Structure 1
Amino acid sequence: MFTYQGNRRATPSRRRSRWFLAGGVVAGSLVVGAAGVTGVAALAADRAPGVTDQGQQAAAVRDDGPDGGQWTNEGAPGGPRRPEGRTEGADAPDGKPEGKPDGPGTRRPPLLTVPCDSARLVAALVQANAEGGATVRLAPKCTYTLSHAFQQPDEYDGGIRDAREAADAAETPGDAELPPRQPGDDNTGLPVIYQAITVEGSGATIARGENAETFRFFTVRDGGELTLRDVTLRNGRSTSEGGSVHVVHGATAVLERTTVVGSTSVSPKEGGGGVFNDGNMVVRESRFVGNSAAGAEGKGGGMLNGGVLTMTKTEFRDNSANGYGGGLANYRGAADIATTILAHNIAGQGGGLASFSARTKVEDTRVVDNTAKIGGGIANSDAVLVLRGLVVQGNTASGNGGGISSVQGLLPMDDSVVSGNHARGNGGGIFADRSNTLVRTSEVSGNAAVGAKSTGGGIYTVAGQLSLFKSKVVDNSATLPPGGIFADRAQVRVDDASVVIENRPTNCVGSKVTIAHCFR
């Protein structure tokens, strides 16, 4: 800053600034705590860029005085020395600016190879953040066990998500506010991701120790980009969203051939036992096994999505949620899911999959052998759920909707099979309440509504619309008639290319609305 005296600008005072690297790395505003210092010191033994031997002090000194242009490296023997008289960014002898790439986008992120040592993994991620991103390659088949949370101040200042939540609160002032976040809610075993960082797992595992304090592995903050490839995350635990991974609204993550196993969120009303995404996420060829959203109203045992999600060739198995979405919950997000398996998951609603206040498209996917109170396989509420090429089979509901439940939603289903599902309430195959349900070139067969007062073994619809085009409702059963289709205060259309036969005790007799093209 310059000051003026009369018409003359004052000469800036001579000032010397120093940066010190002492026993590790100090980068930007990142402060390494107890866990980080250990890791950085360990990495120093490998003489990573910018890190000296353990215990040796190095200082880079820049002289900003009027004679300028002089750079030295004090205490760093053999270190590079900038020629006197050349300022930073000046042209090199070949005519190109010194220290600058040839053009935009030409910088390659450094590759950091990490031996089978947890402290060195921490140090490598510290360095990756400090250098503006990197690829971190783990030791093949190694297990990196973390025993305590990484101590660092989280530079997150609220960001986009908090602004969005504030806007939501203004729109719906009657909604209950969540309790304020505590610092421990976002404990991580590894440094927070602020840059573009890829972790090449090579079959390695990152695990939280059995008696370790509560922490997840990764938090990705606004602007951060995390790619996990060929790695297993085991036994993460968080008191807020995301037992292993938490991606905020302005961040990006990619999971490729990644397994998330045995992780837990104990957030009372949120969840994401394995992963929580509020940003932009791509998941390919990955597995979510044995994770839990254990809070009283926890959502998404394997994953909770509140952002934009694209998923292919992924498996959710043996996950659980006390609220909804035992395998996967999409809450106020947008999700495109293809060639995925959701099996043996458990929830209050939507044993395999739940779509609540969201837009969800699912294609070529199997939803099998899941259990819930409502919607044994799938639950849809106040949302758009598009199903194409699905197999919804062998799911069980202790209430309504053995295969699928939809409440105040839009449910178009094409080229799909809903079979062998059971409900102790109504709608052994499909239960629809105040919903628009379209069943096209699909089959609803072999489902059962088995409670003492259950009806609508194939389809039960109330106060909405049901349309069948070129579809079959066959061989379903219910305790009370009809066993095929039950409708009450609903508009029902069955085209003449559809078949409703061989349901027990009747096909449509007993429905409160007359259903055309349905005989007895």
Structure 2
Amino acid sequence: MFTYQGNRRATPSRRRSRWFLAGGVVAGSLVVGAAGVTGVAALAAPRAPGVTEQGRVAAAARDDGPDAGRRTDDGTPGRPHRPDGRPDEEGAPDGRPDGPGTRRPPLLTVPCDSARLIAALVQANAEGGATVRLAPKCTYTLSHAFQQPDEYDGGIRDAREAADAAENPGDAERPPRQPGDDNTGLPLIYQAITVEGSGATIARGENAETFRFFTVRDGGELTLRDIVLRNGRSTSEGGSVHVVHGATAVLERTTVVDSTSLSAKEGGGGVFNDGNMVVRESRFIGNSAVGVEGKGGGVLNGGVLTMSKTEFRDNSANGYGGGLANYRGAAEVATTLLAHNIAGQGGGLASFSARTKVEDTRVVDNTAKVGGGIANSDAVLVLRKLVVQGNTASGNGGGISSIQGLLPMDDSVVAGNHARGNGGGIFADRSNILVRTSEVSDNAAIGAKSTGGGIHTSAGQLSLFKSKVVGNSSTLPPGGIFADRARVRIDDASVVIENRSTNCAGSKVPISHCFR
């Protein structure tokens, strides 16, 4: 039977023209190679009216793959659908399948069963990552540590410290880790794993052995979202979560409560971060670093930390940083509340040998021996738009203490703080303090020999720009600003008035621009 084929498109030869190859090689691009083909065609055929040379090149460079010219149901170009309405590739609604080797990790839904949660995390690690969705409002109670081989050698930071110790015996910063130091109630995190809590709680049983919930190893990426972690307890850093130097974690709308680090010199009652961590809209309540020198009752950061819209309340540390401690790390904190926390230094916040920036944050009603609200030592601490109020120090620095540090403070209020030592508002020793467009008011140094109700500075530098030191008091004068072996600069736009019993009279260093 004869069938007319005059209108059927001829099948093009798969053999490429030498002109195409030459054009591609000489010009170094497929577009120019396509232009070579177009140029040859132009020599053999007249140009169509209204078609430019650029248009011919663009037409030659267009994709003519197997899906070219096909349309979706709405008429736009795209992958065709099967008769049943599904895309050619099964899986996600957009045609991308879930699981290993794809851009989208699989979703594992976990019923309200602790064993099933453990199994889901084991599967997620084995399959290269997953999203694990918990049962809404469920409490997953763990009664014992999860047993699994862990050949962790201490990671990047510990390896570096081990090398330093080998070169300089006796200089190791901490003793070797013991296997029990890193007990976890859940499998170690080695992959990119997201846990969507849906309001669920993961808790350590009341009489359970000591373990934290999550340890994120080098290369691991853990995201916790809408979840509560309760009663974690670790013999080393991180009562509930430990993020090692080469790992990443994100906490979103996560609450860490009543968790404890027993480490003698480290800490992180709730969380210890030595890697890269982001915390948003989360809460740290009633956590403790109970070691003799424990740091960071709520969070101890030794890596890179970005935090916003977070609350620290009723946390404690025997060393420093009742709420948050940044030790040898870099931290940016914004729109956060630190209230009713307790520590040896820095009841609310401590920055030691670190770089810390805090903005639009309230530090209120915290308590410490030194630096009732904030303590800064051998560090750079940048404060902007802060309220430091109602904090108490049994020693120096009711609101803020800075020892051998740099502390610029802008657009902030330090008010209503108390110290039984010196510096009811701010205490500075061997530090550079810059107070700009800020107010230091109604603070008190109430000890028998206390001075500098507003600011007490020694062996450093204090600069006031467009700021007020007003209404402060101390047992011994001056009640405003006391300086000893320090350089003090007050610009013409600043005022130091109404402090009791004097503003600056009684300071060991005369202070210009200070009303008596």
List 4+ stretches of structure 1 deviating above 6 A.
1-86, 93-105, 170-174
The CA distance in 2 between the partners of 1:431 and 1:364, in whole Å, is: 22
- 1:97 deviates by 22
- 1:34 deviates by 63
- 1:165 deviates by 2.3
Instruction: Describe the shift of the 1:453–1:126 C-alpha distance in structure 2 as closer, same or farther (beyond 3 A).
Output: same
TM normalised by structure 2 equals 0.80
Checking the alignment, whether the CA contact within 8 Å between 1:16 and 1:65 is kept in structure 2 is no
- 3-state SS in 2 of match to 1:466: strand
- 1:52 deviates by 64
Give the alignment of 1:170-319 within 5 angstroms. Answer: 175=171, 177-319=173-315
Identity %: 90
Give the alignment of 1:257-406 within 5 angstroms. Answer: 257-406=253-402
| Post-superposition CA distance 1:179-223 (Å, at most 9, x none) | 221100000000000000000000000000000000000000000
- 1:154 deviates by 1.1
- 1:178 deviates by 1.6
- 1:163 deviates by 2.4
- 1:291 deviates by 0.1
Instruction: Describe the shift of the 1:9–1:35 C-alpha distance in structure 2 as closer, same or farther (beyond 3 A).
Output: closer
- 3-state SS in 2 of match to 1:25: helix
The CA distance in 2 between the partners of 1:297 and 1:35, in whole Å, is: 72
TM normalised by structure 1 equals 0.80
| Post-superposition CA distance 1:312-341 (Å, at most 9, x none) | 000000000000000000000000000000
- 1:161 deviates by 1.6
Tell me the equivalent position of 1:89.
Answer: none
Checking the alignment, whether the CA contact within 8 Å between 1:387 and 1:412 is kept in structure 2 is yes
2:155 pairs with 1:155: no
Higher helix proportion: 2
- 3-state SS in 1 of match to 2:26: coil
- 3-state SS in 1 of match to 2:242: strand
The runs of 5 or more residues in structure 2 that have no matched partner are none
- 3-state SS in 2 of match to 1:492: strand
Checking the alignment, whether the CA contact within 8 Å between 1:22 and 1:57 is kept in structure 2 is no
Instruction: Describe the shift of the 1:7–1:58 C-alpha distance in structure 2 as closer, same or farther (beyond 3 A).
Output: closer
Once superposed, what is the RMSD of the aligned Cα atoms?
17.0
The CA distance in 2 between the partners of 1:141 and 1:193, in whole Å, is: 23
Instruction: Tell which deviates more after alignment, 118-127 or 6-15.
Output: 6-15
- 1:236 deviates by 0.1
- 1:277 deviates by 0.0
Instruction: Describe the shift of the 1:78–1:407 C-alpha distance in structure 2 as closer, same or farther (beyond 3 A).
Output: closer
The CA distance in 1 between the partners of 2:290 and 2:34, in whole Å, is: 30
Instruction: Describe the shift of the 1:415–1:24 C-alpha distance in structure 2 as closer, same or farther (beyond 3 A).
Output: same
- 1:159 deviates by 2.0
Instruction: Tell which deviates more after alignment, 32-41 or 101-110.
Output: 32-41
Q: Rg larger in 1 or in 2? A: 2
The CA distance in 1 between the partners of 2:132 and 2:27, in whole Å, is: 18
Checking the alignment, whether the CA contact within 8 Å between 1:481 and 1:510 is kept in structure 2 is yes
Instruction: Tell which deviates more after alignment, 182-191 or 21-30.
Output: 21-30
The CA distance in 1 between the partners of 2:47 and 2:125, in whole Å, is: 17
Instruction: Describe the shift of the 1:445–1:75 C-alpha distance in structure 2 as closer, same or farther (beyond 3 A).
Output: closer
Instruction: Describe the shift of the 1:64–1:82 C-alpha distance in structure 2 as closer, same or farther (beyond 3 A).
Output: farther
Give the number of equivalent residue pairs: 514
| Post-superposition CA distance 1:419-467 (Å, at most 9, x none) | 0000000000000000000000000000000000000000000000000
- 3-state SS in 1 of match to 2:369: strand
The CA distance in 2 between the partners of 1:347 and 1:36, in whole Å, is: 75
The CA distance in 1 between the partners of 2:46 and 2:394, in whole Å, is: 59
Checking the alignment, whether the CA contact within 8 Å between 2:234 and 2:260 is kept in structure 1 is yes
Instruction: Describe the shift of the 1:82–1:431 C-alpha distance in structure 2 as closer, same or farther (beyond 3 A).
Output: same
Instruction: Describe the shift of the 1:96–1:493 C-alpha distance in structure 2 as closer, same or farther (beyond 3 A).
Output: closer
Instruction: Describe the shift of the 1:108–1:473 C-alpha distance in structure 2 as closer, same or farther (beyond 3 A).
Output: same
- 1:6 deviates by 64
Instruction: Describe the shift of the 1:279–1:324 C-alpha distance in structure 2 as closer, same or farther (beyond 3 A).
Output: same
Instruction: Describe the shift of the 1:7–1:116 C-alpha distance in structure 2 as closer, same or farther (beyond 3 A).
Output: same
- 3-state SS in 1 of match to 2:24: coil
- 3-state SS in 2 of match to 1:298: coil
The CA distance in 2 between the partners of 1:131 and 1:263, in whole Å, is: 31
Checking the alignment, whether the CA contact within 8 Å between 1:24 and 1:54 is kept in structure 2 is no
- 1:27 deviates by 49
The CA distance in 2 between the partners of 1:10 and 1:152, in whole Å, is: 63
